[in-house]
Amino acid sequence: MAAKQNLLLLGATGYIGSYILEQILKAKSSFGRIAIFTSANTATTKSEKLEELKKEGVEVIIGDAADEEALVKSFEGIDTVISAAGRPIIAQQITWINAALRAPSVKRFFPSEYGTDVEYDESSKNEVPHQQKLKVRAKLREQEKEGKGLEYTFVVTGPFAYGYLAAGTGRLGGFNVKEKKAVVLGDGKGRVSLTTDPDVGKLVVAALLHPEAAKNRALRVNSFTTTPLDIVAEFEKQTGGEKWEVEYVSFEKIRELEKKAYEESNPWAVVFTLRRIWGEGGTLYEKRDNWVIGKEEGLDSLSDAVAVEVAAQKGK
């Protein structure tokens, strides 16, 4: 029997990192050590959460994620490093990869993907939100060509369903339970691939448990595929059956707003870009890769995801 993997997660107390760690802990009998690397600030501001994790057997290592030497030391005895870096610190992953390459025990690295495919088509390389992730992919492929032996897996989930289904802001799209109003892009019939936030964690765990199948590749996975109008119909069903008001925003308009946002250095510019990519079909594939890692079943449906969002917006 193969030895159980020893895991270390960076960004474990962040948004998507919390979901990934939660699912890892649900499957902890399949793993050896489970450790997280976190900052001194997090150790102070989230001390109660860290104590809870320690009670569940999680090793908590406190340090500076920009300090390569500290990372190399923390990686001792670790087989697999999983990144859940948020957008502001995605660039730090180059340092994390360098540390992993110097740590003799580390064999696998999962960079922070968990979102829009940064290599969907030829245009992907020009999208602003993709640039840091493309550099991380290039770094991992470069070391592979050099024969350094650090395996990697890009877990590409498409948009996080809970964020996509949220009330939204103006022309960005969204589904407002209180007002029973939806803002959708295009004609609302374009298909979009979504993954619920807990399912991101489940899919990462599945990839961890299928190392050969997941080796040195992008896994394009999801919970379900739907359309904005099908989402509206599900919200209507779960909020009493009354028809919702639907506002349609053209892709021409969204591109105009996106361009203006970048010109004005508006932080929402990236969101415009991502919403436009999703609406134009930049998350769709003929066949998803769930089967590669044995995760075709046991994932959330559109109904499940909408139920969570309805409860959240009603404050339950």
In tens, the pLDDT along 114-173 reads 999 999 999 999 999 999 999 999 999 999 999 999 999 999 999 999 999 998 766 678
User: Which of 50-64, 67-81, 209-223, 269-283 is predicted least confidently?
Assistant: 269-283
For the chain, how many structural domains are there in total? 1
Identify the pLDDT of residue 219. Answer: 97
Determine what percent of the chain falls in helix, strand and coil, rounding each to the nearest 5: 45, 15, 35
Buried b (16+ CB within 10 A) or exposed e, 258-289: beebeeeeeebbbbbbbbbbbbbebbbbeebb
Q: Tell me if 154 is assigned to some domain.
A: yes
- How far apart (Å, rounded) are the C-alpha atoms in residues 34 and 28? 8
Q: Tell me if 21 is assigned to some domain.
A: yes
Q: Tell me if 245 is assigned to some domain.
A: no
- How far apart (Å, rounded) are the C-alpha atoms in residues 3 and 181? 52
Q: Tell me if 80 is assigned to some domain.
A: yes
Is there a contact between 41 and 112 (Cβ–Cβ < 8 Å)?
no
- How far apart (Å, rounded) are the C-alpha atoms in residues 152 and 110? 6
**Beta strands 192-194; 224-226: pairing state:** antiparallel
Which of 46, 125, 133, 189 is catalytic? The answer is: 133
Residue type at 266? Answer: N
Q: Tell me if 43 is assigned to some domain.
A: yes
Confidence of residue 2 (pLDDT cuts 50, 70, 90): low
Give the residue numbers spanning the domain of 24. 7-158+197-221+285-297
| Per-residue tokens: 39 | 């900052």
Q: In terms of Cα–Cα distance, which of 213, 203, 268, 229 is closest to 27? A: 203
Say if residue 118 is exposed, middle or buried (CB neighbours under 10 Å; 0-12, 13-18, 19+). Answer: buried
Q: 261-293, pLDDT tens digit by residue?
A: 999 999 889 999 999 999 999 989 989 999 999
Identify the pLDDT of residue 86. Answer: 81
Q: In terms of Cα–Cα distance, which of 272, 180, 283 is closest to 224? A: 283
Q: What is the CATH number of the domain that holds 106?
A: 3.40.50.720
Q: Indicate the pTM of the whole model.
A: 0.95
Q: Tell me if 79 is assigned to some domain.
A: yes
- How far apart (Å, rounded) are the C-alpha atoms in residues 29 and 66? 31
Is residue 133 among the annotated active site residues? yes
